[in-house]
Amino acid sequence: MAILVAANPPGHFIWDPAVTERLLAEYGRLCAADAGCAARGADLPALVRSVLAGLPERLWGIAIDADAVRLGGYLMMVESVPPPGPMPFYGAAGVDFWQDAAAGERAGVVLASVLMRQLVPGFAKSWGHLMAMGGNAADYTGVRLGFTAADGGTALGAPLSRMLAGLLRGWPGSGTGAPYDVTQPSAVETLVISGNLDFSTPVFQATEELLPMLARGRHVVVADSGHALSFWSIQPEARATLLRGFLDDGRVDASGYVHQPIAFAVRPGLSGLAAWGLAAAAAAALIALAVLWLAGRWLRRRLVR
């Protein structure tokens, strides 16, 4: 008996730009059904193209890395619920990020560019387990041969594949050529759980490639839900009923789940956080100048005496 949450069949440590485009369009469809979100632009692929095409080399004197902006914009779309911590890295905030940038509010673009350049080197350490799996699979044989993730005419391309291609340079390992490089048939009783908005392990891959190989496989798709964090964060009672029922006697009872629509009202988003940070830095600078002025005035008075 097995439970797979956010299942990733072999061959998908390289992310498909066309699948990302399809998921962007799905978020756009949900945005179009929300009046507030739709008013700011619901054609997400078009918004992403517009923003990336218009990126300047520098903003506020800071160099803008287009690949870092792509990666930040992609990672924000992976989960459908806010993660722990202050950073708004989840789907609705990702939509807000692209809408803000398309409307000329580019503070989030600056923050994404700076933040991703700081975070990516750390992935080599904290994502070692992922690289050990993906770096030894057939997926990344091409990486070591100079693979670059082509955009394929899509809006966002495959920024996570580009990132891992860079991290895997020099990684010790190669394609195994083993049967594990392709999905194998299994008679194990298996429950596969997916979110239909999961950008990291898209539901289509489980439906089209994994389930046909599972003789006793069952598939539950949680509506308007993202990657693994989303599954473990929402509707705990429904989740417990589903998991306990399957583990107890093989029942698949997802009846406790109710539709939890995406809340597109995001404030502050990444642009808001960047603007607050800039305002805080400006206030700190003014306070420092005021302190220096007062100290200088006090010192002059002491010298005059």
Per-residue confidence (pLDDT) for residue 144, from 0 to 100: 46
Q: What is the pLDDT of residue 58?
A: 87
Residue 71 near residue 123, CB atoms below 8 Å: no
Contact assessment for residue 8 and residue 133, using Cβ atoms and an 8 Å cutoff:
no
Tokens at 190, concatenated:
């298996």
Q: Which amino acid is at 304?
A: V
Predicted TM-score of the model (pTM):
0.83
Cα radius of gyration rounded to whole Å, the chain = 23
Distance CA 116, CA 88 (A): 14
From the list 26, 61, 69, 244, the residue with the least C-alpha distance to 159 is: 69
The residues spanned by each domain of the chain are: 8-179+266-272, 180-249
In angstroms, how far apart are the furthest CA atoms of the chain? 94
Contact 44, 92 (CB under 8 A): no
* pLDDT per residue as tens, the chain (305 positions): 999 999 988 878 778 888 899 999 999 999 999 999 999 999 999 999 999 999 989 888 888 999 999 999 999 999 999 888 777 889 999 999 999 999 998 888 888 888 888 777 666 566 666 667 666 656 666 554 444 445 778 899 888 888 777 777 666 665 555 677 788 899 999 999 999 999 999 999 999 999 999 999 999 999 999 999 999 999 999 999 999 999 999 999 999 999 999 999 887 777 766 665 555 555 665 666 666 666 666 666 666 55
Q: Are 181 and 2 in contact (CB under 8 A)?
A: no
Beta-carbon contacts of residue 18 (< 8 Å; ≥ 6 apart) = 152, 154
